[in-house]
């Protein structure tokens, strides 16, 4: 089952793919991502959302970005990546490392919402790594301190 269905009216990309990460934790552009049929390399990521240099991007007509995203999902799955999470415009992939742990990758769909959409409007897919080991054990959250029990 695919969890990503990107319509031509994909949601506006939040400030950046790494907006919740500090610069030291920021991933890198996933430059080993292939340029599949129907995609055109977009090295500057359309100069949108400050993704230039933070993601590897491809473009396609906005009306075809959803189908292109599905093609990328299938391609990544054929290479052992598993879809771990996602929403209307983002998919997170996880892949086990042979040495233990997991690598992470994210694919983000976006377009320029400041311009009118026409038959020639471009949509984009951005790909970036997720730093660290996504399968590493996370410490259990601590309960907030409350009043002492009586």
Q: What is the pTM of this model?
A: 0.76
Asked if 107 contacts 125 with a C-beta cutoff of 8 angstroms, the reply is yes
Measured distance CA(78)–CA(90) in Å, rounded: 19
Asked if 25 contacts 131 with a C-beta cutoff of 8 angstroms, the reply is yes
DSSP 8-state secondary structure symbol assigned to residue 120: T
Task: Tell whether the model's pLDDT for residue 20 goes beyond 80.
Answer: no
Q: Which CATH number fits domain 23-130: 3.30.310, 1.10.260, 3.30.1360, 3.90.1720?
A: 3.30.310
Model confidence pLDDT, tens digit, residues 85-133: 998 899 999 999 999 999 999 999 999 999 999 989 999 999 999 999 9
Would you state the pLDDT for residue 136? 80
Q: Any idea where the domains of the chain sit in the sequence?
A: 23-130
């Amino acid at each position: 089952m695919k969890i990503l269905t990107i319509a031509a009216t994909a949601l506006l990309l939040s400030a950046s793919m790494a907006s919740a990460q500090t610069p030291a934790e920021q991933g890198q552009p996933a430059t080993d991502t292939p340029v599949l049929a129907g995609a055109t390399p977009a090295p500057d990521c359309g100069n949108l959302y400050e993704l230039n240099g933070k993601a590897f991007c491809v473009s396609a007509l906005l009306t075809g970005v959803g189908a292109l995203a599905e093609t990328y999902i299938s391609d990544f799955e054929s290479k052992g990546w598993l879809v771990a999470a996602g929403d209307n415009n983002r998919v997170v992939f996880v892949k086990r490392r042979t040495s233990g742990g997991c690598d992470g990758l994210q694919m983000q769909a976006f377009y320029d919402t400041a311009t009118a959409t026409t038959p020639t409007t471009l949509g984009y897919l951005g790909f970036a790594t997720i730093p660290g080991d996504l399968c590493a054990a996370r410490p259990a959250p601590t309960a907030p301190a409350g009043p002492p029990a009586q």
